[in-house]
Amino acid sequence: MAAVAEKVAEAATRERETTEQLRRGGSFSEFETAPERLAAIWAAKHAEWQRVRDLITQAGWDAYEPERDTQGSKWAQERAERRAGALAARAAFEARRREEADELRAELRLSAVPSRLIRAAADRVGLMPAQILAQLAERVVVSEDGTVSVPPFTPSR
């Protein structure tokens, strides 16, 4: 109970300090988090430690027993699930970014004659001109002497 009381006092002090510093416009440069977020974190920690203290007192426990704290256990599970979801989303984002690093996006301006040929080929097979150009690019062959060519092919959907 003494350890919980210390945590309540520490959280109250930190909450008060961060709120005052935020009001004064003081610097939080030593932290990588936004001042408003830091103040909110300490307010939440203060409230949670008060809840734990009240639970221990009301339940008559000698010490905090997390497995018997249904509300705390539920919140811990929700935090773990959100963290796992965030980590999975971040991993998927990084994988997409690595994949996109190998992609080439280009804007292409063609003169009238090649442009008409590409549009006609696209119209015949029901594709967009950009899709025809992508299929052309996928079939590019670069010879040893640096010559670039595309073997004949039929565009497809």
pLDDT in tens, 45-94: 999 999 999 999 999 998 888 889 999 889 889 999 999 999 999 999 99
Question: H or E element: which one contains 91?
Answer: helix 70-101
pLDDT in tens, 110-123: 999 999 999 999 99
Cα dihedral 15, 19, 22, 24 sign: negative
Q: What is the DSSP letter of 149?
A: E
Q: Is the pLDDT of residue 98 over 80?
A: yes
- Looking at residue 127, the DSSP 8-state letter turns out to be -
Q: Map out the domains of the chain as residue ranges.
A: 1-65, 69-103, 112-149
| Dist. CA 85–CA 34, nearest whole Å | 23
